[in-house]
Amino acid sequence: MALAAACVTIAVAMFISSHIVHGQSAPTVYNPYPPGILPADLNSEIARVQREIKGIESHYLAAWHALPPPNLQGNPPTLQDSGYAAVRILGGLLNYDLNISPFKNIACSSCHMPYAGFSGPIPSVNLTMIAYPGTVHFRAGKRTAQRYTYSSRFPVLEYNSTQAAFFGGNFWDARSTGYKLQSADAEQAQHPPVDTQEMGFPDTACIAFRLSTAEYLPLFETVWGDSFDIAWPSDTATICATPGGAATFGGSATPIQLSAGDRTKANNIYDHWGQSISFLESSDDVSPFTSKFDAYLAGKYTLTADEKAGYNLFRGKANCNSCHLDGRSTAPSPTAPSARDTGTAASTAPVFTCFGYANLGLPKNPRDAFYYQTTPDSFGFTANPAGFTYTDFGLGTFLRSGFGAAPNPNSAWRQFAASSDGQMQTSTARDVALAPPQCPTTEAPGPYFQKEFFHNGYIKSLKQLVHFYNTRDKYRMAVESGECPAGTVERVTCWPAAEVPQNQDMTIGDLGLTDTEENQIVAFLQTLSDGFTKPYPFVGTYTGACMTGGTAATQGNSTLIPASVLRQLAKQQ
């Protein structure tokens, strides 16, 4: 295993030596990682995704040019006939623009491509380093690239005092509350451009600066009427070509020195950036309700025997729809084993989430690249001084306005931080199984597209996901990942200790499902993939390779590295 890890490091170094960032000279590569963390094909895969992004961007450019002339009518003025299309197309152009990052090499879509259900598009990253590299190679975040299908349906974050729980918001930790724009999804789009580990601009005004020279600027002005008449200081281009966190900025979030009036203009443009992308995400380009299950609700598809059995388990014995709401009651349930649901679905467009938060008790994933960014990069920035001792408390950290989260805009929520430690957003189950047509499943032996699941990517297949819900407490052991005892198999008969043991959701963990029942639930989850009643937009843009072999139960186990070994290797870096 150690020899294989060393080979990976050598291969990455060979790729790095010839890599030049699109648009300008590359900075010194940041590689503080133990052998085996970075995948050997990382640079070539980043280049592949960039090519795919440019192809989709060209589609939106053509769609913009095909729009009829703007026709403002009424009061308040409305873009008659073409308003919806104009905002959707603008959102697409913004989402697939590689120029919206200091080194012009990362777009929003770099971590969220259609063929992956708008989650991570690089199988080897999903298998190894977990978080995606940002504009600085190779800074990386701390969590998986969360799917943003149906994310526009999540409401503004609120605390329900009767339920004693939080609902709404965006991101795994709820830090996009939506309090200002009254849209958690639009606010979510405002975080990655200035996240040091992602697109990495040092100032939100860099969005306005880059858009001021974008080919599609006229469309932005048509839709929003924003003024780009801003007196940019002479050093703006240099500032916007320098990643956030650089020591030269002295911690300032506004290094571009603008007048109050010009700062207001730039802020308005930034708000409209977020709202445009949110509109795209609400449209049929991202969230179209075109799955087998939608056809089933409409009486246009009959579930197979396994799909129907899986659905009955999903809303019964497995208790899935207590959190991933499908518009039906949970019956029979663990608390009411004799109950029956004989009614029809209450919603013809269920989003399969309660919009809430839970601590599922996932093990710490030692492969997460964030743990090893303990030294300064060439810009003097250190992402994670705490190293492997960092614990991801999720919602609890956000409520404290803690490290790696965002400021909590409501002081009344601070009191709930401790009881929220470890909680992460209950994502929609829709499109969890979506994969490229040539790799039509997420499950080994395939051909399959390797995804990663939950906030820390510990789970590598839907079979493992269901098995974790089913057996977490039955096979829980006081060990770290990669160190399950002899005679057990990690992710099969051994679940390492929870990263955050307090506040665990105890409605799961020992469901008593058989192996066949687990597989039937997977079959049902696959009915939630969009693209059945009509083709899913851009799902065929994947140009990478499929994976084959192995079993879904042990998928990814060949890449396990003991946590203790990784800690020791990190000390040697």
CA–CA separation, 278 and 184 (whole Å): 9
pLDDT of 19 higher than 70: no
Please write the tens of the pLDDT for every residue from 493-529: 999 999 999 999 999 999 999 999 999 999 999 999 9
CA–CA separation, 132 and 118 (whole Å): 13
Contact 442, 466 (CB under 8 A): no
What predicted TM-score, i.e. pTM, was given to this entire model? 0.94
Residue 220: which residues within 8 A CB-CB, separation 6 or more?
90, 211, 214, 226, 269, 272, 276
Q: What percentage of the chain carries pLDDT values higher than 70?
A: 95
Please calculate the CA angle 275-278-279 and round it to the nearest 5 degrees.
Answer: 90
pLDDT at 11: 43
Q: Looking up tokens 């070509």, which residue turns up?
A: 241
Q: 152 is written with which tokens?
A: 């526009």
Please write the tens of the pLDDT for every residue from 348-400: 899 999 999 999 999 999 999 999 999 999 999 999 999 999 999 999 999 99
The DSSP bridge pattern shows strands 78-79 and 165-167 to be unpaired
For 200, 204, 446, the CA distances from 547, given in Å and listed in that order, are 32, 39, 7
Please write the tens of the pLDDT for every residue from 166-223: 999 999 999 999 999 999 999 999 999 999 999 999 999 999 999 999 999 999 999 9
Please write the tens of the pLDDT for every residue from 411-433: 999 999 999 999 999 999 999 99
Please write the tens of the pLDDT for every residue from 70-96: 999 999 999 999 999 999 999 999 999
Q: Is 139 helix (H, G, I), strand (E, B) or coil?
A: coil
